[in-house]
Amino acid sequence: MILSKENVGQIKVAGAKLPPENVFELPEKILQFGTGILLRGLIDDFVDKANRLGIFNGRVVIIKSTSTGGTDAFATQNGLFTQLIKGVDNGIKVDEIIVNSSVSRVLSASSEWEEILQVAASKDLKIIISNTTEVGITLLADDKVNAAPPISFPGKLLAVLLKRYETFGGSEDSGFVIVPTELVVDNGIKLKEIVKQLAINNNLSADFINWIDSANDFCNSLVDRIVPGKPSATDKKLAEELLGYTDDLMIMSECYRLWAIETQREKTKEILSFSLADEEGVVIVPDINKFRELKLRLLNGTHTFSCALAVVGGFTTVKEAMANETFEKFITGIANMEMAPAILNENITLADAQSFIGKVLDRFRNPFIEHLWISISMQYTSKMKMRNLPILTKYYSKNTVAPTYMATGFAAYILFMKSSLVDGKYVGSLNNVQYAITDDYAATLNKHWEAKEIPAVVDSILKDVTLWEIDLSLLTGFTDEVSKQLESLISNGFTGTVNALQQF
């Protein structure tokens, strides 16, 4: 049996959340650019949850913009897909099965463009959402709004807005709430600037451009949820045997979820009413920088500071490392003792940081997700610079002694980047296991290791402004502390080094 509208009534599994009876009659309120797993596993999950509670009462039309693949699975399954939510929440394992019914249909931009424009003209449509990767929010200066379809995502969005404007005569209440979710800082602001520039390039009227400004709310947003994609073949088979149907669109996600949306307009909050179904997961506020800072520093930054140390410890996956008492002491210590106090400001309280750290540790412990440390190490140097140097300098703005945990994480990074050139590729070796180093600065770090003596290696790397843009050796005591911890990792290994750190 295939998952479909006709067959959903035959599903008899205790605990599985099935579509509400009236869902297939609900109006289409959202136009979504992208069929990707993050949108389905996060945004469409919020919409589905709200529909079950009778709050939003609207469905999603998805635009498929890429030329690869088709829309057959969505058509065959009437937009239905299974979402397996697996993870740890407040120390408790979560294992949910949801048949998501938020999607009404999927339209191909390449073959169904006119139909997409008809959706844009619908009085029911209120919201536009996108996730087209970071490359999607870029200006293609010569993109034509009258093409069928325009090439770029901003070009397609401009065409949708123009159709809307023409259909409703430029009325102020006909505008959209537009929420891009691409991982770009100020994504809403940047998307709006590009769309307006394209309107100018296409010689569209000043009245239309003013309508884009006044009638539409382009909201910056931040999304956070691990959605690995399709479950493994084994998990998929087990799920299908349990449920009694096959599903080519099945996805898995962790239970943690966050969609922070930035707006100053009360009307926007009313339109995004699905947020009321999960006010912890969907946060609508005037400024989302607090959430970006928490995520970048305490989630991404903690990953980066602990990645190499985990490899030194012989761990392959995040969940494997978190099962080790010594590693958990390190990651808990660095997050609570050094990183959280460093990022506190007028918007981020200690309670905010500690609450977020608790969720981060739950996510790291997720027994259902195979998160490889070697994957996290890709472009390690750039991640260390972007994620962790700001928090290191913030720490020093409040302290006069070197941060022991951060220094240990940095020392492990330096050891991880020690390499040999093998067949034109830089290869590291720890615990008698070789690994490829995927880093644009691998050659530079390899050169620094020619210094041989540990203090000289560390001093050379920390002083290299081509890596960091600043001279890290100027941070009081940092060079000595990194050298000390690097020597300890080489002599005493992972366990000996971490156990010697001050615990809280």
Question: What is the three-state SS of 256-313?
Answer: CCEEEEECCCHHHHHHCHHHHHCCCCEEEECCCHHHHHHHHHHHHHHHHHHHHHHHHC
DSSP state at residue 53: T
d(CA 282, CA 277): 9
Q: CA 469 → CA 51, 390, 439, 461, 462, distances in Å?
A: 50, 12, 17, 12, 10
Topology of domain 293-499, CATH: N-(1-d-carboxylethyl)-l-norvaline Dehydrogenase; domain 2 (1.10.1040)
Q: How far is CA 460 from the centre of its chain?
A: 34
Q: In 3-state terms, the chain is what percent helix, strand and coil (to 5)?
A: 50, 15, 35
Task: Work out the end-to-end distance of the chain between its first and last CA atoms, rounded to an integer number of angstroms.
Answer: 55
d(CA 429, CA 497): 19
Phi first, then psi: give them for residue 356, nearest 5 degrees.
-65, -40
d(CA 221, CA 289): 10
pLDDT of residue 234: 87
Q: How far is CA 485 from the centre of its chain?
A: 32
For residue 1, what are its two tokens?
Answer: 């049996």
pLDDT of residue 13: 86
Residue ranges of domains in the chain:
8-285, 293-499
8-285 — its CATH code? 3.40.50.720
Residues in a beta bridge with 285: 262
What DSSP line would sit under 197-252, residue for residue?
Answer: HHHHHTT--HHHHHHHHHH-EE--EEEE----BSPPHHHHHHHHHHHTSB-TT-EE
Phi first, then psi: give them for residue 166, nearest 5 degrees.
-70, -35
88: Cβ contacts below 8 Å, ≥ 6 apart: 94, 255, 362, 363, 365, 366, 367
Strands laid side by side in the 81-89 sheet: 92-100, 81-89, 251-253
For residue 381, what are its two tokens?
Answer: 């140097």
Per-10-residue mean pLDDT of the chain, 504 residues long, equals 93 90 96 95 98 97 74 91 91 92 96 97 98 88 97 98 98 98 94 98 98 98 91 87 94 95 97 97 97 94 96 96 96 96 94 95 90 94 95 96 97 97 95 94 97 93 97 98 98 96 62
CB burial of 260-287 (b: ≥16 within 10 Å; e: otherwise) equals bbbbeeeebeebbebbebbeebbbbeee
d(CA 428, CA 436): 6
pLDDT of residue 303: 93
d(CA 305, CA 334): 9
pLDDT of residue 183: 87
Strands laid side by side in the 59-64 sheet: 103-108, 59-64, 28-33, 127-130, 177-180, 217-218
> What amino acid occupies position 478?
F
Whole-prediction pTM: 0.88
Strands laid side by side in the 282-285 sheet: 221-224, 258-262, 282-285
d(CA 427, CA 447): 13
Cα–Cα–Cα angle for 139, 144, 146, rounded to 5 degrees: 140
